[in-house]
Structures are given as structure tokens and as C-alpha cells.
Amino acid sequence: MEPPKSRRWIYLGLAGLLGVALLVLLLRPSGTVVDTATVARGTLSVTVEEQGRTRARERYTVAAPITGRLLRTKFEAGDSVKAGDILAKIGPPPNDARATATLRSDLAAAQARARAAEAALREADSASKLASAEAARRVDLFAKGLVSAESRDSFSQTAAAERARASSARATLAAARSEVESARSRLLGAGGNTGNGATIEVRSPVSGTILRVVEESERVVQAGASLFELGGGGGLELIVDLLTEDAVQVHPGDAIRVTGWGSDRVLPGKVRYIEPGAFTKISTLGVEEQRVNVIGDLIDPPPELGAGYRIEAAIVTWTGDNVLKIPTSAIFRRQNAWHTFVVEDGRAQLRAVEIGRRGTDFAQVLSGVDEGANVVVFPSDLIEDGIRVSDQGVTSVG
């Protein structure tokens, strides 16, 4: 038996309502998709991160002792040397023909003055001997009563004067001979003469490694010009220039984590000292920055790491255990306070939080959220207080 027509319409109406309800449920938005992280306790380290470089702890600069022509060296950067090894040789500076002719004339004049001084000395010596002999005879004659005391004293005074003239002639001859040597030394190297007698040897002050050859080719150098940079056996140290506002947080003994040197291995180090004076540096954006160098020691550096290598340094300024941590990507500033979105019952709830120490990836939570709370990381502008959200994934903060 077929049901009455009125009952059939009732069934059709109920079926339609059920279909509409199912369609509404299917089309209802499930909420904005977000990534979340779980607030948990763990170890928190606060670091100051900046690029730096390595350098030799014991560094020596070898300079030219005289002005002259530096001969080409056989050493290259990276070579090992011992204390006393000859690094380079410096010969006299080259002279042009006119200067050489002038120097030769000066030498000839000095030699002529030396010969004149020798002749004057021979004359003075002869006169001194004659005067001394005459004075001695007058002393004998005075003793026999044959001459007066005045005659004796006169000849004695003449003998003393001749001896003084002879002494002066010797000094003049010594000065003339020195002038000859000086004129001759200025001629060393003239005409390309760079023999062993005309060169100065530059020796290594320590045993170590040549870090840099400043002057590789033969050229004329001035006295005091840098020729080589040597690294002693003291190992490597780190130099990291920080902004002054970051440097005040760093103290001697702070740990350093070194990365970015060409391997995945993290090298340990520690801060030795902070230089007392800052300097001005122009950033890549053209902004003047006040920076200061932080010097650290590498603990057990690998042999493949050399001086002058670029590194990434993370200086640990504070470490805490059992700290309630929240990702720094989950907190943001609003109305001069820190906030975060906590996911509860499928909705994002805006919470004000008090933040303590802040590291690169995590921050210390003092109040506002509890351990185990799920917070939205990298919240977009679509996230508002009370909006329905859908968790894409939950990351635990360990």
C-alpha cells in the first residue's frame, strides 16, 4: 500500500532539509591553516652572531733595514721557515751615469785628500822627531851648564808643539781615509754590481710560516717598508668586529661557536679580550657604525684552517637551564608589548606575554603562557583574535 500523498511530501521535505544541512557542513570553512609549536622547558642560550676571520696569534712583520734594490725572493706564502733563514737580499739602489760619475769624482777627491794627509803626517812626524832630539840635547847641555834654562824650555816647547801637530795630522789622515771609504761605499751597486759584498741579508726573526710576501718582484724599496708577514707557532686566534651595543654584552671567557668555515663541524672557542677602542665602519647600506674587535682563541683548530679565513661566530653571552621557551617566530610587538596567538579549541587566542632573555631562535617566557601551550609561529595578517584556525603541524620546543 502506498503512503498517503501528504506523508510523502513530509518525507521529501525532511530529506531536503537533511541534504541542505549536509551541504552546509561540507561547505563550512575549516579555519585558517597555521603552523604551531608547543611551549616547553629546556636549555636557552643567548648569542651575539657576526662574521669574523682567523689570524695568526703571533704575527711578525719583516721590514727592509735599508733603502735599496730588493732582489727577488724564492719564498712564497705558506712556506715554512726557521729563525735565521735568509728571506731576501737588498742591494744598493741603482744610480744613473751622471750620479755614478759624480760619485767616482768624489772618491778621487777623497783619495787625493788622503794622500795629502799622509804627506802632511810624514812631514809632521819628521819635524816632531827632530824637535824631540833637539830638546833632548838641550837638556843634556843644560845639565852641563852650557845653555840657559830659557833655551832648554824653548826647545822643549817646540818639541811639544811638533808632537801636537803630528797628532793632528794623524787625525786628519783618519778622517780622509773615512771619507774614502764613504765615497767607495756609495759606489757599491753602481753598474749593476749586487755581489755578496754589496748586499744586505734579511733574515727571519722566528721559526714559523710565511703568511704573506708583500714584495714578490725585484724593486727599489725604502727603509722600513714591509717585506714579509710571518706567523709564529702560537696557533690561530679569532677576530670578530661587533657593534658596540652588542660588544658590551660580551665578557672574557664567553664561549664561541664557530661555523661557516667550510665544514659542518662546529669549532669551539672562547673570548680572550675585547679591544678597548672602537672604530667607525661603513656598512653595506652606507650607514656609519661604531664597532669594536673581540679577540678569541680557537680550541683545537683543524689543520686545514689557516690564517685570514672567513668564519661565522656565535658568542654565547648567557645560558639558562630549565627555561620556559617560546619560538621567537611566535612573538610580536603590539601596543608596546609582546604578544602571541595561543590555539585553544580550534581558535586563535591573542595573549600578552612577558619576555625575558631572547636568543636567535627562542625566547624566555616569564608570564602569559603555560608549558604545553600551542602557539602560532609566523602569524600572518589573516590571523586575528578568536579566528578559527586549523593546525598544519605542531613542533615541540625542546
What is the enclosing helix (H) or strand (E) of 97?
helix 97-143
The 10 Å CB-count burial string (b at 16+, else e) for 343-353 is beeeebbebeb
pTM to 2 decimal places: 0.58
pLDDT at 397 over 70: no
Segment 75-121, tens digit of pLDDT: 888 788 888 899 999 887 766 677 778 878 888 888 899 899 899 98
Name the fold adopted by 59-92+210-231: OB fold (Dihydrolipoamide Acetyltransferase, E2P) (2.40.50)
Segment 347-377, tens digit of pLDDT: 999 999 999 999 889 999 999 999 999 999 9
Please compute the mean of the pLDDT values over residues 138-167 and round it to a whole number. 85
End-to-end Cα spacing for the chain: 70
What per-residue confidence (pLDDT) applies to 5? 56
CATH architecture for residues 32-44+321-396: Beta Barrel (2.40)
pLDDT at 175 over 70: yes
% residues pLDDT > 70 (the chain): 87
Cβ neighbours of residue 343 closer than 8 Å, sequence gap 6 or more: 34, 36, 349, 374, 375, 376, 389, 391
Cell of 6: 501528504
Cell of 195: 755581489
Cell of 227: 717585506
Please report the beta strands in 255-309, taking only residues with DSSP state E, as ranges in sequence order: 255-259, 267-274, 279-282, 288-298
Between residues 93 and 19, the one the model is more confident about: 93
CA nearest neighbour of 37 among 321, 325, 380, 346: 325
pLDDT at 31 over 80: no
State how far the alpha carbon of 1 is from the alpha carbons of 46, 141, 158, 318, in Å: 83, 190, 176, 86
pLDDT at 392 over 90: no
pLDDT at 395 over 70: no
Show me where the domains of the chain are located.
Answer: 32-44+321-396, 48-56+235-319, 59-92+210-231, 97-186
Binned at pLDDT 50, 70 and 90, residue 59 comes out as: confident
- Residue 132 carries which side chain, given as an amino acid letter? S
Residues in the chain: 398
What CATH number belongs to 48-56+235-319? 2.40.30.170
